[in-house]
Structure formats: structure tokens, C-alpha cells
Amino acid sequence: MVISPTMGASATAPSAQARTQAKNVIFINGDGMGAAAREAARLHLAGLDGQLAMDKLAASGQLTTTPHDPKSVVTDSAAAATAWATGEKTYNGAISVDVDGNPLATLGQQAKAAGKSTGLVTTAQVTDASPAAFFANTANRSAQDEIARQYLDVSKPDVILGGGEDWWLPKGTPGAFQDKPAEDPTEGSLGTKGNLINKAQRAGYTYVSSAKQLDKAKGGKLLGLFSNEEMFQQRPEGQGDVYSPVVDLATMTTKALTTLDKNRKGFFLFVEEEGTDEFAHANNGARLLQSMQQLEKTVAVARAYVATHPDTLLVVTGDHETGGLAVEENDPNDESGTAISAEDGPFTIAGSSRTFTLDWTTSGHTSVDVPVTASGPLSDRFSGKHPNTYVHDVLAQVLAPRR
């Protein structure tokens, strides 16, 4: 296990009781979600004195996010998720390989080796950077068809739910979702590894592509692909932006939990809301808040599970902050700029006649700390400020094979 430089001896040696109690892990990523996004969602969804479900978790802290990249001090999702999944920092674009391109052991693979079930749920492509880091190794995050192949041949997650059908089918072979749809004609099958959906079915996966099919699926291994690429269209307001997934994140998460729950040795489930990042890239405050609402519903599903399964560690955080976002008063004299530095809003505050404004400073990522909240066994370890590799250090205490 890689030890964080901020961890003392007492933090790295959990009691036998804590190790016994912690059997399952639900790790939730609000991609691109910094403190300002959480505060905006709190005001909009819970009100001036309200709390989000993610804010009600027992422990809270902060994570730093800088990568080990010779060209950047600001992380991308690949390097950030690699830090979580492996305990090592690396360069932007890397999927669980070190700075020299060597593959690293991942928590998803370690959980499998410990006899636990594993799963991933996302509104991005299931082969996108954040979920991929837990279940694959590649020097280039763009190799999404190779990541899909590794899911089937190497890491073998029991549940795979999200978008990205394009990467599972050869070019020119449309599946449940047509190539070149009207909402985005650039979308279409891209794979170079053969028909991986057929391969998954031969390997025992039940394949589904609709809410009805997902609902009817019974146990066992499950592959659900519900869009060509991401499960939304990430554009600025009024320019073709759409957030209307075929299956929402909370429903996918519920199905994943009921499927993985059957393993007496426990499970690891990675859950991600991608819209929080992509709509922030587009400086689209309305869709950001809509994505945060879906994330909040999903955290509520996870909290309900933890309430009846106290041997489950639940962690909610973000891989980095996107947009350089600030929550401001509605002040026409305080307009800070145009284009990517424009203000956005006003947005309503729940239970109040008051409103607030969002102010963007970039369409990219920033290096500010991200909040982390947690509940369940070992959750107290997340109090304080830590590097993002610390996530691995704590989760490995639950997921690594016992010696």
C-alpha cells in the first residue's frame, strides 16, 4: 500500500474492528465538482439554511489535485483518477500507468482479487478516464476501445452502466443508438477491437440499452450502454445543450447496488456524474445545477443503502474543479467580463425569493482543492487536508486482498 506523506502511523494502521466492519465501498465522483459547485447546488436545491445529502455525511475534508505532469500543474480526470485508483501521481492523459508508462495495480483489480464484486456507473462513456482508471491500464486515455477490451479480458467488472456504445462496436456498425444522430452528427461507432458487445454477451454479460431492459435484468454480470457517447449534449445554454439521459444516474446506481449486493465478500462500486464537468466546461450554469441535482439524488440512494448496510464506506468527492466558479450576489455593477469569464444567472434559492449569480473564470480545470465527505467505517480518515492519492490509501484498507 502506498502511504500518503500526510498520514501518521495511527492513520495507516486501522483497528481490527474497523477492518472487519468495512466490507463495501461506494465511491462517488462529481467530475469537476469543486466547493463552489456544491455551494451553488446547496442554495438552489436545499436553500439558505439547508444541506445537501452529500453535506450530511459524517466526515469532511479537502483533497489537493496536482498531477506529476512535466507540462501542467493542473490535473485532468485521467491523472486524478489514477491517483485515486493506484496511489501514484502521474501525467495528464495516463490511465493507471506511472510517469514512465508502466502499468500500476488498481483498486478495481485488487477488489476482484479479494473476491469482491466490482462495478462502475457513469453518465460519461463507461470507458472514459475516471472509471477507466479503476479497471484498466493505458498510456493514453483516448484508447477507449482498448479500455473496453481490458474490461472484458482483464479486470472484468461485474456491472458496467453508462454511455459510450460507440467504443464497443466497429466503425460502420451502429448499435441501439444510430450513428450520426441529428443532435450530434459527429457521433458514431469507432471501435477497432471487434464487436465487444457480442464478446461481452459470450462472456456471460446481460446487455441492455434501455430503462425497461435495465429494470428487467436479473442478477449476474450486467453491461448497459445508453448512448453513443456521454449521456447528454454538453454545450452552452441555448446551443443544443441537452440533459435527458435514457436512464438517470440514481436508477443505474440502484440497479448496480442490488446486483453487487449479492456477494457476501462485499463489493466496490464507482459512480460518476459527468455533467458536472462537461457543462462547467461550457460555462452552462443551468445544466450544471441540473447535473448536480442528479448527483444529489444518487448520493441519497447511496446513503439509504449505507443506512441498512453499516459495513459500507461511502465517499463523495470531485476529481478536480472545472470553470473557476464563484457564487456571487446579483450585482450588475460587478460584471467581471465576457465570453468564458462572464457571469451566469440569476438562479433561484430554494424556499426563498432571493437569487444568486454564478461567475466563471475559465472553461478549463483549476488546481483548487476539492471537498470530500464520507460516512461509514474508516470515514473519519477523510477529515483534514490530504493529497488525492490518500483516497487510495484509505480505500485499499477495505479493498486490497488480505494477506
Query: Are 20 and 378 within 8 A, CB to CB?
Result: no
Query: Are 126 and 88 within 8 A, CB to CB?
Result: no
Please name the helix (run of DSSP H) or strand (run of DSSP E) that holds residue 134, with its range, or none.
helix 129-135
Q: Is the pLDDT of residue 334 over 80?
A: no
Q: What is the pLDDT of residue 198?
A: 97
State the fold for domain 23-399.
Alkaline Phosphatase, subunit A (3.40.720)
Q: What is the pLDDT of residue 332?
A: 76
Q: What is the pLDDT of residue 141?
A: 97
Structural domain boundaries in the chain: 23-399
pLDDT, average across residues 53-78? 97
Strands in 49-142 per DSSP E: 59-64, 117-125
Q: Is the pLDDT of residue 369 over 60?
A: yes
Q: For residue range 247-280, list pLDDT tens digits in order.
A: 999 999 999 999 999 999 999 999 999 999 999 9
What confidence tier does 199 reach under pLDDT thresholds 50, 70, 90? very high
Report pTM: 0.93
Q: Work out the angle at residue 347's Cα, subtended by the Cα atoms of residues 341 and 353, and round it to the nearest 5 degrees.
A: 140
Q: For residue range 208-228, list pLDDT tens digits in order.
A: 999 999 999 998 999 999 999
Please state, in angstroms and rounded to a whole number, the distance separating the CA atoms of residues 244 and 231: 7
In 3D, which of 135, 316, 113 has the Cα closest to residue 223? 135
Q: Residues 6 or more apart from 257 whose CB is under 8 A from it?
A: 26, 269, 301, 302, 305
Q: What is the pLDDT of residue 338?
A: 63
Q: What is the pLDDT of residue 225?
A: 98
Q: Is the pLDDT of residue 389 over 90?
A: yes
Q: What is the pLDDT of residue 174?
A: 87
Q: Is the pLDDT of residue 202 over 50?
A: yes
Of the candidate ranges 77-91, 92-106, 336-350, 382-396, the one whose mean pLDDT is the lowest? 336-350
Q: What is the pLDDT of residue 8?
A: 35
Q: What is the pLDDT of residue 12?
A: 40
Q: What is the pLDDT of residue 9?
A: 33
Query: Helix, strand or coil for residue 292?
Result: helix
Highest mean pLDDT among 192-201, 234-243, 336-345: 192-201
Q: Kindly report the average pLDDT of the chain as a whole number.
A: 92
Q: What is the pLDDT of residue 335?
A: 66
Query: Are 271 and 121 within 8 A, CB to CB?
Result: yes
Residue for cell digits 469537476?
32
Q: Is the pLDDT of residue 13 over 60?
A: no
Q: Is the pLDDT of residue 156 over 60?
A: yes
Q: What is the pLDDT of residue 282?
A: 94
Q: For residue range 282-323, list pLDDT tens digits in order.
A: 999 999 999 999 999 999 999 999 999 999 999 999 999 999
Q: What percent of the chain has pLDDT over 70?
A: 93
Residues in the chain: 403
Q: Work out the angle at residue 306's Cα, subtended by the Cα atoms of residues 263 and 1, and round it to the nearest 5 degrees.
A: 65
Q: Is the pLDDT of residue 64 over 80?
A: yes
Single-letter amino acid, residue 142: S
Q: In what order do the strands lie in the sheet with 205-208?
A: 205-208, 221-225, 159-163, 117-125, 267-273, 24-30, 312-317, 370-375, 59-64, 384-387
